[in-house]
Amino acid sequence: MTAGKEKSELRKLPMMPIRDMVIFPYMMTPFVVGRESSVRALEEALNGDRKIFLATQHDASIDEPKAKDIYQVGSICNIVQSVKAPDGNIKVLVEGVERAKTVDVSDRDGFFVATVRTGKSQFEMSPAAEQLMQRVTSLFEQYVKLQQSLNYETIIATVRMDEPAKLSDVIAANLQIGIEEKQELLAIFDPAARLARVADVLDVEIEKLDLDRNIQSRVKRQMERAQKEYYLNEKIKAIQKELGRGEKSEFDELRKKIEAAGMPKDVLDKAVQELKKLEAMPPMSAESTVSRNYIDWLLAVPWKKRSKETRSIDFAEKVLNSDHYGLEKIKERILEFLAVRQLVKNPKGSILCFVGPPGVGKTSLGMSIAKATGRKFVRLSLGGVRDEAEIRGHRRTYIGAMPGQIIQHMKRAGTKNPVFLLDEVDKISSDFRGDPASALLEVLDPEQNVTFQDHYLDVDYDLSQVLFVATANVLHTIPPALQDRMEVLRLQGYTEQEKLEIAKQYLVKKQREQTGLSDKNVAFKDDAILEIIRSYTREAGVRNLEREIGNVCRKVARKVVKAGAKHKEELTAANVGEFLGVAKFRDSEAHEKSEIGLVTGLAWTEVGGSILTTEVQVLDGKGKLTITGQLGDVMQESAQAALAYIRSKAQSLGLTREFYRAMDLHLHVPEGAIPKDGPSAGITMATALASALAKIPVRRDVAMTGEITLRGKVLPIGGLKEKLLAALRAGIFEAILPKGNEKDLAELPENIKNSMKLHFVDSMDEVLALALETPLPGPKPETEVMGVVPPPAEITGNLPARQ
């Protein structure tokens, strides 16, 4: 668009100030005239050529404005129509003709007369002007579509024109913008500049309208969703009301349950507060589900319900004896607990820990305690638990949060005083999620578990009336702090006679019932059960024994199905192999003959005792000691201590002080795939070294166990009963033991004391005197060849046991 010269002229016209509006050229506008000065100006124009100058006031609140209160730029208008109303006001319809600027304003007979300068720019159309007009028209179409207060069809028809000046004024007149912005557009006389300014204003307004529409759309969607939920909720309420299950009745029922649950005051207050929050929530919201689940858990946990205890000691003793054979110490402790319950009204809960090898009845003993006391029984297996949240639960902020296993099992028990068995407490582990064993410290402390806090419930829960019973195979994997909170009761392995009685009284009957047999279909002789114990099992407990008896019963059941219900099998030692196949273990694992450098030791394992053979071989070399058999650090150190002792006693063995320089020693403990450790094999390794170096055989009918010092002292060891049971199973009836273990004789079963000859020793000299077939040769002259000792007479055949 190319602007030309501007033509201007001066005109004198009556002037009327207007309020809250800006009149553009080409714009038809109706308004009401009421002020006296405005009426006089209007009458002056009507009496003349019907032309009047209209300019907008700065401040619409001024009733009698001065010349300075009126914008200089306004519009010269034609008065199209005027109608006088009964109230004295005049309704006027005017049409804008052209814009003008006041040069002078004077007051004549009570109205303004303005001298104005008009101006019309001459311009030529160009491609740029056409492009700008198209852009403005397109923007205005967008604006009208977004601006709901404008009629699209009517407005768009009015802007289809080819004159830039007229286009800019018509569009400016229809923009929903402020008075100041409109006045700014009116004051631009150049059509090109005015059209560009209109384009800028349209850009801004379209952006505002887009934002408004997006906000309105979002608000509308939210309102529609809320209205939909409200409608559905009201419909659900109406349906529930028709069915007699109104929402209020549900909350009233929950409130009654909370009041009847017997919760402590602080828990009751929290439950009521949570219920009030639940009532205020929409039933379909996620928060409503979380609150409802929380209230359900508070109601599910027992707060006041207790099992009625059976405190009769005679009844408890009868139950324990009927369920378990032996275990006298354990039974005594349980009966003592019941006796205290009778004398003390509210004693603190006891935490018992049964420690023993697998299969000795630890778990079933917990069930018997519940049966004997009339309490509920729940069992929580802790094997492999790594996450602290398994004990304490997750906080409610997590999705899918639940209480820990302690609270879950209390809910399952349904009473606040059950027997709670924590099974395999020695197999708890820890990782980045926390240490479950540390979480158990509070659970198992009678001083602290009165106020146990689960992370999910987040209220104090009283565990003091729970009788906790823990089970473990070993103690060394249980943290010391946790051990300190429990009363440890050790369950030893069963003797052969005890296993026989357990099988006769419990296992055979149980397996017969499980396989559908009766005593008329299968009978077990004592020698058959002993054969199964000796040849098909090697264990401290009776789990494998029960499994083998069940294996026999299944085979008998198959024969009964084929031959008829009257078929009967009698199991004896002679025909056990027909049912169980080849014996898995030899009757005796004692050596067939006494040999040089071969000693039978005794060891303790997690499944009971076992015999541990130790071998030593002397080789030509330079004084190297080789130790094999997958021995742990402690056991290797014991071997070093044993060798140091043997070197210090070289002359007693008939060796020179420098004997080791001309030979290598190889110490091996068979079954190399099995890790071994501990100090109790010290005297065994020392005896094997002494035998190999002195060339004297070790008695085959003697087993031994004990720790050795550098000075040859024999120190006490643990697991005595299990080790002696292993010796009996292996057919060894004589054992060498540390003097410090003589006090443990009182706890040994009578059949061990009656069946075995036990030697209690203080020093290694006593061990060698008892274990070697012949006495040591004694000191040799220093003139003998280093390390060379004349071999004793060759020993062949089996030697009789020393009397």
Active site amino acids: 680, 723
Task: Answer whether 717's CB lies under 8 Å from 760's CB.
Answer: no
CA distance 757 to 737: 11
- Please calculate the CA angle 546-552-554 and round it to the nearest 5 degrees: 100
Which helix (H) or strand (E) segment holds residue 352: the answer is: strand 351-355
Task: Answer whether 185's CB lies under 8 Å from 197's CB.
Answer: yes
Task: Answer whether 420's CB lies under 8 Å from 466's CB.
Answer: yes
Q: Is 450 helix (H, G, I), strand (E, B) or coil?
A: helix
Q: How far is CA 198 from the centre of its chain?
A: 64
Q: Which amino acid is at 572?
A: T
Task: Answer whether 572's CB lies under 8 Å from 387's CB.
Answer: no
Q: Which residues contact 351 (CB under 8 A, 6 or more apart)?
A: 444, 446, 468, 469, 470, 485, 486, 487
CA distance 357 to 204: 85
Q: In what order do the strands lie in the sheet with 734-738?
A: 625-628, 663-668, 608-620, 598-605, 702-704, 734-738, 757-761
**What is the token pair recorded at 94?**
């005017």
Task: Answer whether 197's CB lies under 8 Å from 188's CB.
Answer: yes
Q: Please count the other Cβ atoms lying within 10 Å of the Cβ belonging to residue 97.
A: 15
Q: Which residues contact 456 (CB under 8 A, 6 or more apart)?
A: 294, 297, 393, 394, 395, 396, 401, 402, 403, 404, 407
CA distance 14 to 92: 15
Among 662, 362, 773, 339, smallest CA distance to 542 is for 362
Which helix (H) or strand (E) segment holds residue 147: the answer is: none
Q: Which residues contact 469 (CB under 8 A, 6 or more apart)?
A: 351, 352, 353, 354, 365, 366, 369, 419, 420, 421, 422
CA distance 360 to 542: 6
DSSP state of 106: E
> Parallel, antiparallel, or unpaired: how do β-strands 595-596 and 697-698 relate?
antiparallel
Task: Answer whether 77's CB lies under 8 Å from 45's CB.
Answer: no
Q: Which residues contact 628 (CB under 8 A, 6 or more apart)?
A: 666, 667, 668, 669, 672
User: Could you give the C-alpha distances from 637 to 686, 687, 707, 712, 740, in angstroms and in order?
Assistant: 12, 16, 11, 14, 21
Q: Is 32 helix (H, G, I), strand (E, B) or coil?
A: strand
Query: Diameter of the chain by CA atoms?
Result: 163
Task: Answer whether 224's CB lies under 8 Å from 214's CB.
Answer: no
**What is the token pair recorded at 322?**
């009927």
**What is the token pair recorded at 346?**
């509210």
Report residue 645: phi and psi, to 5°: -65, -45
Task: Answer whether 96's CB lies under 8 Å from 26's CB.
Answer: yes
User: Could you give the C-alpha distances from 353 to 362, 430, 441, in angstroms and in order?
Assistant: 9, 21, 14
DSSP result, 558-626: HHHHHH-TT--EEE-TTTHHHHH-S-SS-S--S-SS-EETEEEEEEEETTEEEEEEEEEEEEESSS-EE
